[in-house]
Amino acid sequence: MQLLEYQAKNLLREVELPVPEGLVLRAGEPIPEVTFPVVVKSQVPVGGRGKAGGVKLAQNKKELSSIVATILQLEIKGHKPECVLVEPALNIESELYLALRVNRDKRRVEYIVTRNGGVSVESHAEEVRVVPADEESYLQVAEILQLEAVAVKKMCQKFMTIFHDDDCLLLEINPLIVTKDGDIFCADAKIEIDDNARFRQENLGWTETSNLKPLGGNIGVVANGAGMAMSTMDTIYAAGGKPANFLDIGGGTGEDVFVKNLHKITDLPNVQSIIVNIFAGITRCDEIAKGLIAARERIVDLPPLYIRLEGTNRDKAVELLAEAGMEVLPSLQACVEGALKHV
C-alpha cells in the first residue's frame, strides 16, 4: 500500500524529521487563515503530481480558494483526491533526492541518492547513486548530497527507524529541499508499506480493495484463480443460470477471508445459493473447510452452499465438513445443478 503524502509526512514527523507544518483540507471545508505564500498539493497515491498540475503555489486567500477547488476536481492518473495538503511554501535553494528501498535481488536495503532531485529526477538517471544501507552509509550519502555529515547521520538513522518499524518497501523524499536559509525539509514523501505486514500495521489506515464484482444474478460464486472463477461462471451461464458475482479469492484461506467474502455475497440482492469451487494447490482443503464452517456458524442468513473442493488434503476437508453437516460434491456440474434448484 502506498501512503498519501500527508500520511507519510505524519510518520516522518513522529521521528522528528523536518517536515513543513501543513494542514489537510477536504471538499466543503472552509479556507483557513494561513500565512502566504502556500503550496497546495493534491493527495493522490501516485507520483508526477507537479507535472500534472496537482502542485500549485497560492499568494493570497482568493488564489488559495480557487486553486483548492481546481485541484480537488483534478483527476491525476485515474485518481481524484479526497483532500489537499496546504503547506507554507519553501524558499528553495536546491532540490535533492534521497530514498531507501528494499532491493530483493540483492537482498538488502539501500539508499538511492542524487543531488539533482525534483520533478525531472528520471532524466538525470545517470547521476543516481546506490549506497547499501549500513551504519556508515551516511558518510557517502552526505558526500553525494554535499550536506554536513552530522546532519545526514541523524536523518539516516530516523529514516531507518521508520523503514524498519513501519515495514516499508520504499521511503522516498523527492525533493529533499535545502532552503535559501540553509534549512533542510522533506518537501515530499512517498512511503510504500509491505502489504504482508498489514497484521502489525493496522493503525496505518488501509484502504479496502475488493475483488468482488457484482453481476446481478442469483448464484453467488467463490473460486480461486481468475481462470477458475471464469470457468465457473461459464458453466453456470451454459446451464441457464446467472452468477451474482465474480470473485477470485486468490490464495487466501484464513477463516476471515471466507467469512468476509461470503458475507459480502450474502448481502448482494437476490442471492439464493453460493457455489464454492476451489482447487487447493499451495492452499489446503482442510483450511478452506474451516473457513466455510466458520462462515456457516457466523453468517445468520447464509444461503445454501454447493461446494467442490479438489487438491491438497481433500479427504480431511470432506471429513471436517461432514462433521459440520456440510457436503462436498463430486463435480462443478453437480454444484450448478444444485444451485439451479433455488432459482
In the complex with ligand GDP, which residue's Cβ is closer, 81 or 241?
A: 81
Q: How far is the CB of 188 from Mn ion (least distance, A)?
A: 3
56 binds, options ligand GDP, Mn ion, none, Cβ within 5 to 8 A by partner type: none
Closest C-alpha among 194, 161, 158, 192 to residue 176: 158
Contact 193, 28 (CB under 8 A): no
Mark residues 106-125: x for contact with ligand GDP by CB under 6 A, - for none: ------------xx------
Contact 253, 199 (CB under 8 A): no
Q: Please report whether residue 53 would count as binding ligand GDP according to CB under 6 A.
A: no
The residue count of the chain comes to 343
Look up residue 187 and give its DSSP letter.
-
What span, in angstroms and rounded, lies between the C-alpha atoms of 18 and 175?
A: 13
Total binding residues toward ligand GDP, as defined by CB under 6 A: 18
Among 81, 175, 241, 243, binds ligand GDP (CB under 6 A): 175
Among 114, 174, 201, 273, binds Mn ion (CB under 5 A): 174
What span, in angstroms and rounded, lies between the C-alpha atoms of 163 and 157?
A: 10
254 binds, options ligand GDP, Mn ion, none, Cβ within 5 to 8 A by partner type: none
Look at the block and give the residue holding cell 456440474.
333
Q: How far is the CB of 120 from ligand GDP (least distance, A)?
A: 9
77-106: which residues touch ligand GDP (CB under 6 A)? 87, 89-90, 92, 95
For residue 126, indicate whether it is catalytic: no
Q: Which amino acid is at 224?
A: N
Q: Please report whether residue 201 would count as binding Mn ion according to CB under 5 A.
A: no
Q: Please report whether residue 188 would count as binding Mn ion according to CB under 5 A.
A: yes
Mark residues 182-221: x for contact with ligand GDP by CB under 6 A, - for none: -----xx---------------------------------
92 binds, options Mn ion, ligand GDP, none, Cβ within 5 to 8 A by partner type: ligand GDP
Residue 300 burial (10 A CB sphere; 0-12, 13-18, 19+): exposed
For residue 237, indicate whether it is catalytic: no
Strand partners, 88: 38
Rg of the chain over CA atoms, in angstroms?
26
In the complex with ligand GDP, which residue's Cβ is closer, 50 or 214?
A: 50
What span, in angstroms and rounded, lies between the C-alpha atoms of 96 and 73?
A: 30
In the complex with ligand GDP, which residue's Cβ is closer, 174 or 283?
A: 174
Decide: helix, strand or coil at residue 55. Answer: strand
Contact 142, 152 (CB under 8 A): yes
What span, in angstroms and rounded, lies between the C-alpha atoms of 298 and 326?
A: 15
Strand partners, 279: 310
Among 1, 8, 39, 141, binds ligand GDP (CB under 6 A): 39
187 binds, options Mn ion, ligand GDP, none, Cβ within 5 to 8 A by partner type: ligand GDP
Q: β-strand 92-103 against 168-179: which pairing, if any? A: antiparallel
What span, in angstroms and rounded, lies between the C-alpha atoms of 249 and 226?
A: 9
What does the binding site for Mn ion look like in residue numbers (CB under 5 A)? 174, 188
What does the binding site for ligand GDP look like in residue numbers (CB under 6 A)? 39, 41, 47-50, 55, 87, 89-90, 92, 95, 118-119, 174-175, 187-188
Query: Catalytic residue positions?
Result: 97, 172
